Amino acid sequence: MRRVSEQLGGVDRMSLQMTNPRLAHADLLRGIELLGTEVAPQVAAD
């Protein structure tokens, strides 16, 4: 995510489109949880 931001000269925000017609509800919730608790803090820690 950081490298993409660099490639584009600095990105203010990134939204993940997780829409998927065969993604179980529990899996999508897990993805959201990981995005918020694991990924976002690491990205913000720059």
Partner 1 sequence: MHIGVDSFVAAVTDPATGRQIGPAERMGHLLEEIALADQVGLYSFGIGEHHRPEYYDSAPAVILAAAAARTERIRLGSAVTVLSAADPVRVFQEFATLDLISKGRIDLVVGRGSFTEAFPLFGLDLADYDTLFTEKLDLLLRIRASTAVTWSGRHRPALRGQGVFPRPVQDELPIWIGAGGSPASFARAGALGLPLMVAIIGGEPRRFAPLVDLYRRAGAQAGHGPERLKVGLHVFGYVAESTEAAADTIYPGWEEMFSTISRERGSPRPRGPSSMPPPARTAHFSWVTRRPWPTRCGGFPSSSVGWTGCRCR
Residues that bind partner 1 in the complex, under the rule CB under 8 A: 1-5, 7-25, 27-40, 42-44, 46
CB of 26 to partner 1, least distance (A): 10
Contact 22, 35 (CB under 8 A): no
CB of 35 to partner 1, least distance (A): 5
CB of 28 to partner 1, least distance (A): 6
| Rounded Cα distance, 40 and 1, in Å | 10
Q: In the numeric block, which tokens belong to residue 32? A: 């959201």
Q: In the numeric block, which tokens belong to residue 2? A: 């950081």
